[in-house]
Amino acid sequence: MRIGELARRSGVSERSLRYYEAQGLLRSERTPGGHREYGDWAVDRVVRIQTLYAAGLHSRTIAQLLPCMRDTDGRPNEIATPELVHKLAAERDRIDSLITDLIRSRDVLDEVIDTASDDATTATARGA
């Protein structure tokens, strides 16, 4: 498939796909006319890249991590280095901390919403 089709199927812009390729996260073949061609495996790869970016990983870390993950094309899985495992564990801990902070923030908002709802109900009942 060409880059436009990959963009449509993955929901990622062509510009981002070119960036992924420049960063070594995605590979393509070239047609005789110079157009990029991707296999069906590329959709899953792009979704995986997006997920890792959303988790807060940088392209350098993603480039190290991707070869350790199996793609749907069955490419062999390389063994992660101890350094990469340590880096990924630190990233996981960072994400866990963010999740904890978000839950705490949500709980505070729930308290404010409950209090405001109770106040609004009381005010409505008084005005009725």
CATH number of 1-77: 1.10.1660.10
Indicate the burial class of 20 (C-beta count within 10 angstroms; 0-12, 13-18, 19 or more): buried
Return the pLDDT at 117.
Answer: 86
pTM of the model: 0.63
Q: Check: CB of residue 91 under 8 Å from CB of residue 57.
A: yes
Query: Residues 39-89: pLDDT tens digits?
Result: 988 999 999 899 999 988 888 888 888 877 765 555 545 566 777 778 888
**Which residues, at least 6 apart from 34, have a Cβ–Cβ distance to it below 8 Å?**
none
> Which sequence spans correspond to the domains of the chain?
1-77, 80-128
Cβ of 43: how many Cβ atoms within 10 Å? 19
